[in-house]
Amino acid sequence: MVDWPRLKLSRRGVLAGTTVTAVAVGAPAFTEASAPPAAQPVPTASVTFSVNGRERRLALDPRTTLLDALREHLHLTGTKKGCDHGQCGACTVIVQGKRINSCLSLAVMHEGHEITTIEGLGTPDRLHPMQAAFIRHDGYQCGYCTPGQICSAVAVLDEIARGIPSHVQDDLTASPRATAQEMRERMSGNICRCGAYSNIAEAMADVAGDNA
């Protein structure tokens, strides 16, 4: 008769051993066949446009927004990234004479377009009239939204001058005027978290009066 050794097993030991065995059986062996595939290069698209009067040619991931092309590829960081959802207006630039939220537009959509950023409006020694008016009327506080505010303000006065109607006009066939209500309505897409709205409106009225 064989004298088998007596094994001392506990409930805890049985459970632990069962778990280890299940994990070992269920885990697939790591081989070259199961290794993740090598990363593929991201395809790029070529786009050429004029930025602040200078022709720029870029090879970009087609998903690159105009905002990121300006900031990350051309290093024009005056245009700010705020919400990145088209809700704050900090990224406003002027494209083909019209203001847009550059975070909502792909760079490749602007082949051949003329783009103006805050850097293209004026320089420290030769300010654009709107930039000078913002300084006179303290139309900024922290300054983060200011580039978008100024680009939008310049485009708004141009819209009014070209007779483009707005939502607050009683008569859409009449030529709009640069009233406080008119300018506030058109600037409503540009958010200033510091609350400098009245000063911004005064700066715009100042420039509108000079152009009247």
pLDDT in tens, 8-28: 556 666 555 555 555 555 555
Task: Identify the pLDDT of residue 28.
Answer: 57
Task: Identify the pLDDT of residue 24.
Answer: 53
Distance, CA of 136 to CA of 142 (rounded, Å): 16
Task: Identify the pLDDT of residue 6.
Answer: 59
Q: Are strands 92-95 and 45-51 parallel, antiparallel or unpaired?
A: unpaired
Distance, CA of 126 to CA of 57 (rounded, Å): 27
Ranges of the chain with pLDDT below 50: 212
Task: Identify the pLDDT of residue 33.
Answer: 59
Query: Residue 46: enclosing H or E segment and its boundaries?
Result: strand 45-51
Distance, CA of 83 to CA of 52 (rounded, Å): 24
φ, ψ for residue 2, nearest 5 deg: -75, 135
Task: Identify the pLDDT of residue 22.
Answer: 53
Domains and CATH numbers, the chain: 42-120 (3.10.20.30), 122-212 (1.10.150.120)
